[in-house]
Structure 1
Amino acid sequence: MSLGELRVLGACPLDCPDTCSWVVTVQDGKAVKMRGNPDHPYTRGALCVKVNRYLEHTQAPDRILHPMRRIGPKGSGRFERISWDEALEEISVRLRGIVDEHGGAAIWPYVGTGTLGYVQGSEGVAGRRFWNVLGASRHFLNICSAAGNTGLSRINGTPGGMDPETFALSKLILLWGTNTLTSGHHLWKFIQDARADGAHVVAIDPIRTRTAEQADEHLPIRPGTDAALALGLMNVVLSEGMEDRDYLENHTNGWENLRAEILRYPPARVAEITGLPEPDIRALGVRLAHTRPTGIRATMGIQRHAGGGTTMRTIAAIPGVTGDWRHPGGGIAYSTSGHIHLNIDTRDDLLAEPVRTLTMTRLADELDESVKCLWVYAANPMSSTADQNRIREKLLREDLFTVVMEQFPTDTVDYADIVLPATMQIEHTDLHAGYGHMYLMWNEPAVEPPGECLSTAETFRRLARHMGLTEPSLYDSDLELAEQLLSSGHPSLTGITVDRLRKEGWVRLNVPQPFVPFTDGFPTPSGRMEFGSEPAYVPSHTASATRGAYPLTLITPASHTFLNTIFANNPELLRRSKGPRILVNPADASRRDLSDGQRARVFNDNGEFEAVVEVSDKVQPGVVASTKGHWRKLSRGGSTANAVVDARDADMGRGAVYHDNLVELSPCTS
């Protein structure tokens, strides 16, 4: 008997600011169609090129559907199917043994951004109650936005900024180090609304991306010198006498220190640092000085270098100097996550004693003999984390008990001892909040999980029960967890309940529209914007280092067809990506006897990877670019760009430095 047709509202879980609302059509228990929700004010009915294939992905033939145990050498990817009882028993015995012999801190729960759910994923730190009971080490998830979050918090008290919808009201839009049409394309509709009303759009980016090609103006800045440009633009604002003196006097601290720093960066000096023509810097500075409101969109790529935190802090000073925070459509938008005030109760009181914190991007350094269990979920560090070759060496340790909860046989799965099958978004309950808009989103499961797949929360509930743990909060249901999240009492959540979210699918935070942050002061101890007295420009490693044998700066931007390493095994999206490629300026290609379509070896002291050369003036001389996200085992040569990326820290927040590495290129000989 036919079950009929259902339309189920859900939300995209992936690491993208747009967190789209979607509608899944279900016929006879099977998901047959997915589309963007046309009723959602930000999604407006559209999904991205990646998520358009999401249903296909959930039904892919390489989906992991059952628990597995390793039967071959680590790295071989050879497993046998086992039952859940067998998996839970083996895991329980191993974890108990590790805790008894080495202490809970010998366990590293390594969670990533594979899902940003507050129930099932990283935003709610899923599983941490369980790990706290065992006394496991803390995991510092710093891979994405840590430097920028810290820099913005130092000046504004929060990483939260503009509501991106208010870009429709901007008259000057600076897309600074962000490729909007690839990474968060829904913002473009609001930019188009602004352009229809006369706004001027400038892309500031080392690469002439698809976004830069659509902008009114593109400034191909030298990587890692953005803070110097910000200082130069503010220098022109001062020379024009257009600083907002009233705003500076009544809403900021430290202006005299910043003013002195700005005066040290006239356009001529900034041109030398950034590689941009002095007239272009001066012209944009004049436009900035006289255009209100100016909205700045700067996302995570801009802060992935040695001076990333300082860069965000200095760019964020601009709307304080110009007074743009007074206006709808003025200010800076990095992430709206600072405006989300859910009650994330990880029950840290369950820890018997303080534990150490292990850092995500330092996996190669910190996965030493003191770590006896690595538990990976919503992450693929073998492909996505820097210093790839050393990570592989550590994952080969026979004394390291590795458990991976996954949907597909990723590079990391190949090194697991036990693999646990994980649900995908249409198969479980979750609560989401976009970091690029002002809406809470509900994801209702549309279909039953295939095979024996379990959600993250259910996996930890079953494991806790199998281990005989008695802490009641370990067994809270998904709906109970969601109700707890909404119980913070913050005014922005007034009127938002689980029942309402399940019925409506999404609800805007209880804030004004248009939303102008900081009208009642900044969330700093003084209530003011804090310019500080630290340096306002910290150059990237590649901007300050002696280049020697490695004269090219490598940046690794997001792919248009993958999201981090998700979808990199989808045959059609893999075909569209054309495999690992590297953009090389014609002058640099000529010096190395490289031609378009040729395979090149990209290398430094860390390692090497192979990529197909694309000779193009989309990058300036001295800069090369290769998109992130490829899997090692699907790439020729068995390495990806992360084989050459350093595991260094940025200046703030221990942020990652994916765009701050020196390499050399040579033709492949075989």
Structure 2
Amino acid sequence: MHSTATPTHCPYCALQCGMNLAEGGPHGVEVVERPGFPVNRGALCGKGRTAPAVLSSRVRLTEPLVRSPATGRLTPAPWEEALDLVGDALSRARAEHGADACGVFGGGGLTNEKAYALGKFARVALGTSQIDYNGRFCMSSAAAAGQRAFGLDRGLPFPLADIPRTGCVILVGSNLAETMPPALRYLTELRENGGTLIVVDPRRTRTAEQADLHLAPRPGTDLALALGLLHLVVADGRTDERYIEERTSGWEEARAAAMAHWPEHVERITGVSVPELREAAGMFCDADAAMVLTARGPEQQAKGTDTVGAWINLCLATGRAGRPLSGYGCLTGQGNGQGGREHGQKADQLPGYRKLTDPAARAHVAAVWGVDPGSLPGPGRSAYELLDALGGDVRTLLLMGSNPVVSAPRAGHVEERLRSLDFLAVADVVLSETARLADVVLPVTQWAEETGTVTNLEGRVLLRRRAVSAPPGVRSDLDVLHGLAARLGHGKGFPTDPEEVFEELRRASAGGPADYSGISYGRLREDDGAGLFWPCPAEGAGAGGAVEDGGRREGAGAGGAVGDGGRREGAAEGAPRGTPRLFLDRFATEDGRARFVPVVHRAAAEEPDAEYPVLLTTGRVLAQYQSGAQTRRVDELNSAAPGPFVELHPRLAARLGVGEDDPVAVVSRRGRAVAPARVTSAIRADTVFMPFHWPGEGRANTLTHPALDPVSRMPEFKVCAVRLEPVEEVRPVERS
């Protein structure tokens, strides 16, 4: 390792792979292996390895931009002028139309400090309820299902290192080989250790190719599949009755709901054969320990909460939750998708994962902020509902770290809503498609240029350290919020130093479900920066009277969630690490029991018909990330994945008369997208797939359906009805 290397973390997915940054390379800094970090053990995908390319001034913003009234173009402007314009627009909207005329939209890539400060800014400086973030589009359904069943949401309630040591994993709607490549080793090691892997995906992905059993259900039918497996478990007498009696509630109702989904019925719904269903149920139950891991496939549906709930019910019925090497977990997608939703940028939450409607939570956080609890607004709109309201009663929007022009469902409509605003301000690293629509664009620091904490998919809180200086003219998001708050009459309470913000976050989170009060920058710098797992209350205190004694939390912590309380994996590993494993003693519900929730299958919001006879599902490719705003600026990644495509089965291609690389139009009730065909037998014949990383005529989210899950408010990204049309030449996309 270079003697001057700075330990930090990849800016992309929720693995938050450890890396070192050292001087050198074409961009002034280069990635160096960091084998001591336990999550990736030195391994990186191409995105992480090439991340320094986005630090280049050639591809990123280096000065504020203001839209000229004379030309309508974005032109460079001084920082104070740009901040004055934003502050004036927010003040004017609030004065003329009320506080809720000001909207705030955040991102799952913001550090914990930024997410916390953004939520505080919205509720204190603006007084608006209209704040949400793009993490609503990530794992909100899994979060809602986890809250219902366990009383607590943490993506993985156990470390990734437990996966190779279990007996069977059902991986639902995740293509780790392309979305989180360094994590694939855990599944490889699982099989090397004699465990089995079941992958549920309508496509035979690179991950599915590693499986002992691949189930390819029709998109939108994961709920029926899970219920069918639970039916078989009950019918075959393989439930864990003692566990159900001692550690759960609500089983009778959930069992009755599952028994309505007999195997032949489920086969007709899903397309998965009865023998395959029986094989999957047997593999899961035969293992001494087992896990279900879900990702966006089952979650990004208008019934995503119930779908995840059905998989949780399967775990509970077989005694596979809150036990060593067993459980349900969600593979969070965005870099700080976990921490980003814990500290206040969600429409219904306060820091520490507290509920905005809870009077005690409001009083605690208000005391930390030095405001009257009554001054805090109530819950606002969820992400899509907020975007849909733009230009109506929401007149002005401050957007940080998100690109909804590409990433939102029904994206053409969302683009129109953004254009209809009285004023749009965007703080970002690059001039994204959304930033191009703004009245003011503020250039902000990125991962390697700032210090801050993030929380990965395991609930592991990590310190990302500043390794390089930002270009002149670039400020941090904390500086932006400080400057705007001052212009709104709040000269104090919005510090720019991330450690000072984190110290306040610790106090605000103390006693909440996501208790960070025992975490400090000093502790995070220890032990090669391996991180601390929340809940991690301060010594001698905690939620519900929980105390931390030598790392062992006794009693009911974090609303009753008790795990191994920070017992380390090995006696010689040093100081406690918070709570790596949740629920080993009790669940985070009032009575300590996990709750079965009865669910039944229902159709997608939009099923195929004569006019739109094919199903569309969307996802990611290896070389690009999310809306592509950053990765599309890296030459090496663009060479590997230069543009969108439509993946379709040979039989469907033959009916259309479409060959490999021929342009094909995909048309839904919301718009039309055009991209080259990729013909493969790795997808169902009734389904097409498009990656969602690109704007323009190949924008997949032009087509997707905005139907929302009634609990999580997650849009139905993963299934909608389309028709395909061969085209002789590419035409501009139609927007609706």
2:437 paired residue number: 415
Question: Structure 1 pair 353/25, CA: closer, same or farther in 2 (3 Å)?
Answer: closer
Contact 1:105 1:356 in 2 (8 A): no
1:367 is aligned to 2:394? no
Identify the residue that residue 403 of structure 1 maps to in structure 2: 425
Q: Residues of 2 paired with 1:418 and 1:494: CA distance?
A: 37
Question: d(CA) in 2 for partners of 1:200 and 1:464?
Answer: 54
Residue 143 (structure 1) aligns with: 137
* Match 2:622 to one of 560, 569, 585: 560
RMSD (Å) for aligned C-alpha atoms:
2.7
Check the 8 A contact 1:108/1:139 in 2, yes or no.
yes
1:63-462 equivalences under 5 Å are 63-71=60-68, 78-113=73-108, 115-120=109-114, 122=115, 124=116, 126=118, 128-129=120-121, 132-141=124-133, 142-160=136-154, 161-325=157-321, 327-334=323-330, 337=338, 343=352, 347=369, 349=372, 352=375, 354=377, 357-397=380-420, 400-435=422-457, 437-462=458-483
Code of the aligned partner of 1:656: P
Q: Distance in 1 between matches of 2:411 and 2:695?
A: 11
Q: Which residue of 2 aligns with 1:652?
A: 711
**Which residue is 2:5 aligned to?**
7
- Secondary structure, counterpart of 1:150 in structure 2: helix
The CA deviation at 1:658 is 0.5
Counterpart selection for 1:478 from 473, 498, 515: 498
Q: In 2, distance between residues paired with 1:89 and 1:578?
A: 39
The percent of aligned pairs where both chains have the same amino acid is 25
The letter of the residue matching 1:107 is C
Between 288-297 and 415-424, report the one with greater CA deviation: 288-297
Q: Does 1:506 align with 2:530?
A: yes
| Matched residue type, 1:657 | E
Which whole-Å CA distance do the structure 1 matches of 2:385 and 2:163 have between them? Answer: 37
Matched residue type, 2:673: F
Q: Is the 8 A contact 1:129 1:350 kept in 2?
A: no
| 2-structure distance, mates of 1:656, 1:190 | 30
**Amino acid across the alignment from 1:460:** L
Aligned to 2:588: 523
Shift of 1:351: 7.2
Residues 76-100 of structure 1 deviation map (CA, whole Å, 9 limit, x = unaligned): 8x32111112112222222222222
> What is the rounded CA distance, in whole Å, between the counterparts of 1:611 and 1:351 in structure 2?
52
2:692 corresponds to which of 603, 621, 628: 628
CA separation of 1:628 and 1:589: change in aligned 2, threshold 3 A = same
**What displacement does 1:584 show?**
0.5
Give yes or no for the alignment of 1:667 onto 2:661: no
**Do 1:11 and 1:432's aligned partners in 2 also have CA atoms closer than 8 Å?**
no
TM-score by length of 1: 0.91
The corresponding residue for 1:23 is 20
Q: Is the 8 A contact 2:170 2:197 kept in 1?
A: yes
Question: RCO (CA 8 Å, sep 6+): is it higher in 1 or 2?
Answer: 1
Question: Which deviates further from its counterpart, 229-238 or 577-586?
Answer: 229-238
Letter in 2 for 1:252: T
Alpha-carbon distance between aligned partners in 2 of 1:65 and 1:54, rounded to the nearest angstrom: 18
Contact 1:232 1:285 in 2 (8 A): no
Q: Separation in 1 of the partners of 2:485 and 2:374?
A: 16
Amino acid at match of 2:683: V
Distance 1:139 1:493, change over 3 A: closer
The 1:12–1:351 alpha-carbon spacing in structure 2 relative to 1, beyond 3 Å, is farther
Partners of 1:659 and 1:559 lie apart in 2 by 15
Per-residue CA deviation, residues 272-312 of structure 1 (Å, 9 max, x unaligned), is 11101211111111222222211111123321112211000
What per-residue deviation string (whole Å, max 9, x for no partner) do you get for residues 227-272 of structure 1?
A: 2111222222223322111001111112122222222222222111
Does the aligned pair in 2 maintain the 1:553–1:663 contact within 8 Å?
A: yes
TM-score, length-normalised on structure 2?
0.83
- 3-state DSSP class of the match of 1:440? strand
The secondary structure found in structure 1 opposite 2:525 is: helix
Q: 1: CA distance between counterparts of 2:618 and 2:68?
A: 35
Distance, in Å, in 1 between the alignment partners of 2:376 and 2:312 is 39
Q: Does the residue aligned with 1:17 lie in a helix, a strand or coil?
A: coil
Deviation at 1:554, TM superposition (A): 0.7
Q: 2:112 is matched by which residue type in structure 1?
A: Y
Rounded Cα–Cα distance in structure 1 between residues aligned with 2:94 and 2:688: 47
- In the alignment, the residues of structure 2 paired with residue 579 and residue 275 of structure 1 have an alpha-carbon distance, to the nearest angstrom, of 31
Q: 1:349 to 1:563 in 2, by over 3 A?
A: farther
- Give CA deviations for 1:460-516 in whole Å, capped at 9, x if unaligned: 11233345523x312363111122334445698686421232354332336235655
AA at the equivalent of 1:478:
P
Distance 2:131 2:122 in 1: 13
Q: Is the 8 A contact 1:377 1:406 kept in 2?
A: yes
Out of 560, 572, 575, the position equivalent to 2:636 is 572
CA distance in 2, matches of 1:351, 1:145: 31
> Structure 1 residues 364 and 136 mapped into 2: Cα distance closer, same or farther (>3 Å)?
closer
Q: Does 1:42 align with 2:107?
A: no
Q: Which whole-Å CA distance do the structure 2 matches of 1:185 and 1:158 have between them?
A: 28
Q: How does 1:596-615 map to 2 (within 5 A)?
A: 596-615=660-679
Contact 1:106 1:370 in 2 (8 A): yes
Could you list the per-position Cα deviations for residues 356-396 of structure 1 after superposition, in whole angstroms to 9, with x for gaps in the alignment? Answer: 61331235521133222111110011111111222222233
Which consecutive residues of structure 1, in runs of 5 or more, have no partner in the other structure? none
Distance 1:40 1:95, change over 3 A: same
CA–CA distance in 2 between the matches of 1:138 and 1:418?
20
TM-aligned CA distance change 1:212 to 1:400, over 3 Å? same
Cα gap change, 1:51 to 1:317, in 2 (>3 Å) = same
Which amino acid in structure 2 is aligned with residue 12 of structure 1?
A: C
1:29, CA displacement in angstroms? 13
Q: Quick one: structure 1 residues 513 and 229, their matched pair in 2 at CA, closer, same or farther if it must change by over 3 Å? A: farther
Letter in structure 2 aligned against 1:406:
D
Q: Is the 8 A contact 2:391 2:422 kept in 1?
A: no
One-letter code aligned to 1:45? G
Tell me: CA distance 1:238–1:605, structure 2 relative to 1, closer, same or farther (3 Å).
closer
Change (3 A) 1:452 1:414: same
Instruction: Give 3-state SS (helix, strand or coil) of 1:47's partner.
Output: coil
Give the match's secondary structure for 1:357.
Answer: coil
Letter in 1 for 2:396: C
Deviation, 1:136, is 2.6
**Distance apart, 1:101 and its partner CA:** 1.6
Structure 2 residue aligned with 1:641: 700
**Higher alpha-carbon deviation: 378-387 or 457-466:** 457-466
